[in-house]
Chains A and B, each alone.
Chain A
Amino acid sequence: MRAADSAGRPIPSSVLSLGAQPLVSATAHAAPAHGSHEEHHHYTTTGLDSRKIAVWAFIGSECMLFASLISTYLIYKGRSIVGPFPHTSWTHPQTGQVFKPILNIPVTSASTFVLLMSSLAMVLALSAVENKDKPLPAGAGLGDRMLASSKLWLWATCLLGAGFLAFQAYEFTSFVHEGLTIKTNLFGSTFFTLTGFHGAHVTAGVIWLGTLLAIDYQRGLGPKDALNVDIAALYWHFVDVVWIAIFTLLYLIPD
């Protein structure tokens, strides 16, 4: 007789072959939570999907990475010998050239708003995927149809993410034109390293969302894909929360 979980669904042999009785019991008890795709379900002793545990562990490790980069920035903050400086003007002692404060707060505020709105679009994309099988209510208007469109919200998230990257490219380019490169001073080194790493993460997120969008066009994303979209969403929101910290610590708090 084949083993089954509490909902009567068969437990994969890969789980049973692990041997320990408590493990089988725990898994069998927790298995019903994730639909009817037993063959693709990644069982763990906690009853939680291993992919979601992995992404949270990954996000935890990313906290460490960004904390180290932010620490480095804060330790060297205000210790640059030559300008340009982030919040104050600087006059070159030999040439007499005056460098204005380099940070452009209005532009960065706009890019921060764009990234925050991309997180809103992302949660709506996930919600649309999870509810794809549910019929729209009678008399559903344009708003309801928009909320149900995973493609619309994935596109919105991708474009807002790309918009944030465009802001960053503009900022980096203008900094270089104004005389600040990664080699200029301690501020330049730590600023470009930290924001560059964050930008690389946003780029990876946009590519990831692009692949989800391609799958949505290819075969349609539905509730069975909700976990995959959820994992991408968690990564995307993490990139957003890192920027929340960077925006305050780098841009708004003066030396």
Chain B
Amino acid sequence: MAHDSQAEHYHPSWKEYKWVALILTIITIVEVWAYYIPSFVASAAFVPALLIMSAVKFAIVVMFYMHLKYDHKLFRALFTGPLIIATATLLALLAVMSAL
């Protein structure tokens, strides 16, 4: 429990936050840049590439800005549990409605 308490209160430093912001900005620029390359947009790799970049940004914000990486496992469960259910529901709905 002592370990948990310490983990709950660890927050990244300004330098780490600065790097996180820089990485998020770079990924966003790459995403938008990719949108303006017609040959890449027409390729089968475009959508997976965008989804992966978006997922990386999502994970970075959740882990570092929401400090879930350092937080108690209950908080992780409270977030990832519904997120998994929501994602599974989304995929199931898309499959059922033939939109996938």
Contacts and interface: CB of A to CB of B under 8 A. Distances in A.
B1 A123 contact: no
Question: Could you say which interface size class chain B belongs to?
Answer: 35 or more
Interface stretch (A105-113, A173-181, A205-213): A105-113
Contacts of A248: 31, 50-51, 53-54
Contacts of B65: 119-120, 122-123, 233, 237, 240
B47 A253 contact: yes
B94 A60 contact: no
Contacts of A198: none
B66 to A, nearest CB: 5
A24 interface: no
Given A120-B21, A244-B54, A244-B58, A74 B79 contact: no
Contacts of B25: 113, 116
Contacts, number: 133
A124 B54 CA distance: 23
Q: Is the interface of B mostly helix, strand, loop or mixed?
A: helix
A114 to B, nearest CB: 11
Q: Is the interface of A mostly helix, strand, loop or mixed?
A: helix
Contacts of A120: 17-18, 20-21, 65
Interface residues of A, number: 53
Interface in A212-229: none
A238 interface: yes
Contact of A109 (B17, B28, B58, B93): B28
B31 A124 contact: no
A124 B62 contact: no
Interface in B67-100: 72, 74-75, 78-79, 81-83, 85-87, 89-90, 93-94, 97, 99
Given A56-B78, A56-B79, A120-B17, A237 B35 contact: no
B94 A116 contact: no
Nearest to A30: B1
A7 B54 CA distance: 44
Given A60-B81, A64-B86, A122-B65, A113 B28 contact: yes
Contact of A67 (B11, B41, B86): B86
Interface string B37-68: 00001000011001101100110011001100
Given A60-B81, A64-B82, A71 B90 contact: yes
Interface in B5-42: 5, 8-9, 11-12, 14, 17-18, 20-21, 24-25, 28, 31-32, 34-35, 41
20 contacts: A33-B5, A33-B9, A46-B72, A60-B79, A63-B82, A63-B83, A64-B89, A66-B86, A74-B99, A75-B93, A116-B28, A120-B17, A123-B11, A123-B12, A124-B14, A240-B65, A244-B57, A245-B58, A248-B31, A252-B50
Given A47-B4, A116-B25, A130-B11, 4 more contacts: A56-B75, A56-B79, A105-B35, A244-B54
